[in-house]
Amino acid sequence: MAQGDVRNKLVDEHMDLVRTTASQVYRKVGRHVEMDDLIALGTAGLLEAADRFDPDRGASFRTFAYYRIRGAIYDGVRSMAHIPRTEYDKLRAQREADDYLSALADADAARRTPGAPASAGGVEEDLRAVYEAVAGMATVFVTSLDARLAEGREPEALGLSAEDVVALRELRQEIARAIDALPEREAHFLRKHYYEGKTLQDAGKELGLSKSWSSRLHARAIDLLRDQLVKQHAV
């Protein structure tokens, strides 16, 4: 089958994923956007996924496409100025979490590719990977929240209580110290992406990285930040 035919087949077989993902986002921001616009954005993400997919890396196309579709929709929604800031904040945090999970999925697929060295860790290693992924997700959301507060957002607008604000004051200081302790490249990337609002691609471009390498650096930076926060709490 010709390469173009393979691409078209992948797109045709996964349009249901575009509609499902668009519907999920529509339930959050449907008062402000048209469903057809979200489907168009998701279709663009699916086309990009079909162009970039490498079956030899071991990942399923559906998993690979899912994150690209969601990312394309979130990026498109971000450009719609009429989306309320509070609703966009939620989408932005989810987008950042998706970026992290996408990089983990790509790394896991590469690790499980036929011909790659087998892991001796078994179930214990898999459980550790799940724990680290969950902890990484928590780090993404906390860092995203800290970035919104750094922008001057009111805690109430982010759904925070007075008790949450008190706890976050110390946490924000810990995050700042943890980022300062990271290698220069990872710290620079996190500041650009989370605190200056640059996309993964734009933040990576400043470091001379491609889109795929930007995604990997994001996951690495979050993992290092997670480990640094754990280390600070252990002191």
What sign results for the dihedral spanned by CA atoms 39, 45, 49, 50? positive
Q: Angle at CA 30, nearest 5°, toward 24 and 36?
A: 80
79 and 105 fall within a common domain:
no
What sign results for the dihedral spanned by CA atoms 57, 63, 67, 70? positive
Would 111 be classed as within a structural domain?
Answer: yes
Distance from C-alpha of 144 to C-alpha of 197, rounded to nearest angstrom: 10
Residue 18 banded pLDDT, cuts 50, 70, 90: very high
Number of domains the chain contains: 2
Amino acid identity for residue 4 in this structure: G
**Per residue in 166-213, pLDDT tens?**
666 677 778 888 889 999 999 999 888 888 878 888 889 999 998 888
Distance from C-alpha of 217 to C-alpha of 8, rounded to nearest angstrom: 31
Which CATH number goes with the domain that contains 171? 1.20.140
**Per residue in 36-68, pLDDT tens?**
999 999 999 999 889 888 777 666 888 888 888
161 and 227 fall within a common domain:
yes
Distance from C-alpha of 1 to C-alpha of 72, rounded to nearest angstrom: 28
19 and 113 fall within a common domain:
no
Here the tokens at position 208 are 């001379």
